[in-house]
Amino acid sequence: MDDLTMNIGPAGDGTMLEIGVLDMEGDDPVVIHAMPLRPKFHRLLR
């Protein structure tokens, strides 16, 4: 999907999350994926 953006970072309580958003730059973005950060993405935090 070309219009899917994956974001990783901390929630308000510090829990690391991964959030997938469709059409993030558009007028009506939609979250389609949200879960605790999986180990395979930890390398992206460095």
- Residue labelled with tokens 């901390």: 10
User: Into how many domains does the chain fold?
Assistant: 1
- Which pLDDT value is given to residue 1? 62
Within a domain: 41: no
Whole-model pTM above 0.75? yes
Tell me whether residue 40 is in a domain: no
Q: Which domain holds residue 17?
A: 1-34
Inside any domain, residue 44: no
Give long-range contacts, CB 8 A cutoff, 24+ apart: 5-12. 6/33, 8/37, 8/41, 8/44, 8/45
Per residue in 9-30, pLDDT (tens digit) is 999 999 999 999 999 998 999 9
